[in-house]
Amino acid sequence: MVELLKPARGGFLRPFGCGWFIREFLLGHGPNGSPKIDPEAGAPQADIFHQYKMAVMRATALDRATRAEEKRARREKRAISPDNIDRLAERYLARMPYKTQGCRFHSFVVYFSNLQRLGWVEPTGKEEASAFQDNYPPGQPGSPSIVLPVAALSCLRRHTGIENVAGRGTASQYV
């Protein structure tokens, strides 16, 4: 007997991948409601992780709100209201625990180190002060800022199939 491999009801909701988010974030596009950064300056790894988690949480809350509003509208035999979806999404986001969505920090760090070994991201050389250094200045610094090097754009294009990078033509122009 063959049993299909599929998620249970509710399933594996991953609205977007971690690699895609890191790429778009470091290119300065501000994916999924995250802030836009200067691609030349980069961002600390901890900030990228936090923005990824918040973006996954926002996407999950919006998906849950849309499903709930569709179900409620179908039951009440009325049109779907975008205002109700926004209100429900805000409510779901406020009640969603931070640790339940996305990946854990250690998994993110391991994934990020693989991207660094491939040469797809590189440190800028700038480091920010850690929270520990607020009380003990000689302590260990925070995470270094990370940028997306131009050479990595062709690798990302080859592996993701994305042609237009940052709206500046194809990545092959920069190799």
State residue 123's pLDDT score: 80
Please give the mean pLDDT across all residues of the chain: 77
The total of structural domains in the chain comes to: 1
In a domain, 12, yes or no: no
In a domain, 10, yes or no: no
pLDDT digits (tens, 9 = 90+) for 13-70: 667 888 888 889 988 999 988 999 988 888 888 889 999 999 999 998 999 999 999 9
Domain residues for the domain of 60 are 18-33+40-174
Radius of gyration from C-alpha coordinates of the chain: 20
In a domain, 149, yes or no: yes
In a domain, 13, yes or no: no
In a domain, 46, yes or no: yes
pLDDT digits (tens, 9 = 90+) for 57-104: 999 899 999 999 999 999 999 999 999 999 999 999 999 988 877 778
In a domain, 159, yes or no: yes
Start-to-end C-alpha separation, the chain: 51
Q: Which residues pair with 44 in a beta bridge?
A: 145
State residue 118's pLDDT score: 87
Q: Which residues pair with 43 in a beta bridge?
A: 146
Q: Which helix (H) or strand (E) holds 3?
A: none
In a domain, 77, yes or no: yes
Report helix, strand or coil for 60. helix
pTM for this one?
Answer: 0.71
**Helix (H), strand (E) counts: the chain:** 6, 3
Q: How many residues does the chain have?
A: 175
In a domain, 26, yes or no: yes
Report helix, strand or coil for 87. helix
* Selection from 174, 112, 113 nearest residue 149 by Cα: 174
